[in-house]
Amino acid sequence: MEPLTHLFKCTVCHEYTLEEDRCPRCGGSVASPYPAKFSLQDKYGEYRRRAKRKLRMSAD
Ligand SMILES: [Zn+2]
């Protein structure tokens, strides 16, 4: 369930597009708005670490 996996964003006009070569609107180059798929996992990882730390603190 990753509907945004193939979504790109124009670096020029910031229009979202499914084209991975160039923006259909202005012809500018496109880039993934989510450069790192990892960032989401990182966020969850950090959240988990934080939660763990909190848990440990309350346990002490
Ligand atoms: Zn564009």
Report long-range pairs for 2-9 (Cβ below 8 Å, ≥24 apart).
4/33, 4/34, 7/32, 7/33, 8/32, 8/33, 9/33
Contact call for residues 31 and 21 (beta carbons, < 8 A): no
Whether this model's pTM surpasses 0.85 = no
Band of residue 5 on the pLDDT scale cut at 50, 70, 90: low
3-state SS, residue 47: helix
User: Distance, CA 33 to ligand 1 centroid (Å)?
Assistant: 13
User: Distance, CA 45 to ligand 1 centroid (Å)?
Assistant: 34
Band of residue 56 on the pLDDT scale cut at 50, 70, 90: confident
User: Distance, CA 27 to ligand 1 centroid (Å)?
Assistant: 6
CATH topology of domain 8-59: Rubrerythrin, domain 2 (2.20.28)
For the segment 10-51, what is each residue's pLDDT rounded down to a tens digit?
A: 999 999 999 989 999 999 999 987 755 555 566 666 667 777
Residue 60 CA to residue 31 CA, distance in Å, equals 47
The better pLDDT of the pair 53, 2 is held by 53
Q: Which residues surround ligand 1, an ion (CB under 5 A)?
A: 10, 12-13, 15, 23, 25-26, 28
Q: Which pLDDT score, from 0 to 100, does residue 35 have?
A: 57
